[in-house]
């Protein structure tokens, strides 16, 4: 995947971030999932007054993509608050690994953007059933 394509995916994640519902943490996150054939599925974090019910942008994107009928995920871009390290949380890493450990992950950092893979973020993920 070219760096221009990943730049576009990160730009889509920034667009999604603008729609985040994060009134409790004020930490807004957008995710953009490359599902192939030029299709991109977005997600944002959706918080709740009952704090533990909030969901992360990455898992919102995965749920939206599965609902839309996509199962092949090539890359995900994650954009968080300016200046923050916004690599996917542990729960999201496990959910991403379910579908493709080799998925490329780009995310915003205090220095700019980092690029890695799900397998690098979560080696030896749990997944004995598929």
Q: Judge contact between 118 and 93, C-beta under 8 A.
A: yes
By CB under 6 A, tell whether 89 contacts ligand THU.
yes
Is 29 a residue that touches ligand THU (CB under 6 A)? yes
- For residue 120, CA distances in Å to 17, 95, 108, 125 come to 25, 14, 16, 10
* Among 1-9, 20-28, 67-75, 94-102, the segment contacting ligand THU (CB under 6 A): 20-28
122 part of the interface to ligand THU, by CB under 6 A: no
Binding of residue 58 to ligand THU (CB under 6 A): yes
Query: 58, 82, 98, 102: which is the annotated catalytic residue?
Result: 58
45 binds ligand THU (CB under 6 A): yes
Give the interface segment with ligand THU, choosing from 24-32, 68-76, 96-104, 113-121 (CB under 6 A): 24-32
- The verdict on whether 82 is a catalytic residue reads no
Q: Distance of CA 13 to CAs 10, 48, 59, Å?
A: 5, 21, 13
Comparing CB distances to ligand THU, the nearer of 52 and 130 is 52
Binding site for ligand THU (CB under 6 A): 22, 25, 27, 29, 45, 47, 54, 56-58, 88-89, 92
Q: Which residues are annotated as catalytic? A: 58
């Amino acid at each position: 995947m070219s760096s221009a394509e990943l730049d576009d995916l990160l730009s889509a994640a920034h667009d999604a971030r603008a729609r985040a519902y994060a009134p409790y943490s004020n930490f807004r996150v957008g995710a953009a999932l490359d599902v192939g054939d030029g299709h991109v599925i977005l997600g944002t974090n959706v918080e709740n007054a009952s704090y533990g019910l909030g969901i992360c942008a990455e898992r919102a994107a995965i749920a939206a993509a599965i609902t839309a009928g996509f199962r092949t995920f090539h890359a995900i871009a994650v954009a968080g608050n300016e200046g923050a390290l916004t690599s996917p949380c542990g729960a999201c890493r496990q959910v991403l690994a379910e579908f493709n450990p080799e998925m490329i992950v780009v995310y915003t950092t205090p220095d700019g953007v980092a690029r890695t893979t799900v397998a690098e973020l979560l080696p030896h993920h749990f997944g004995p059933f598929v």
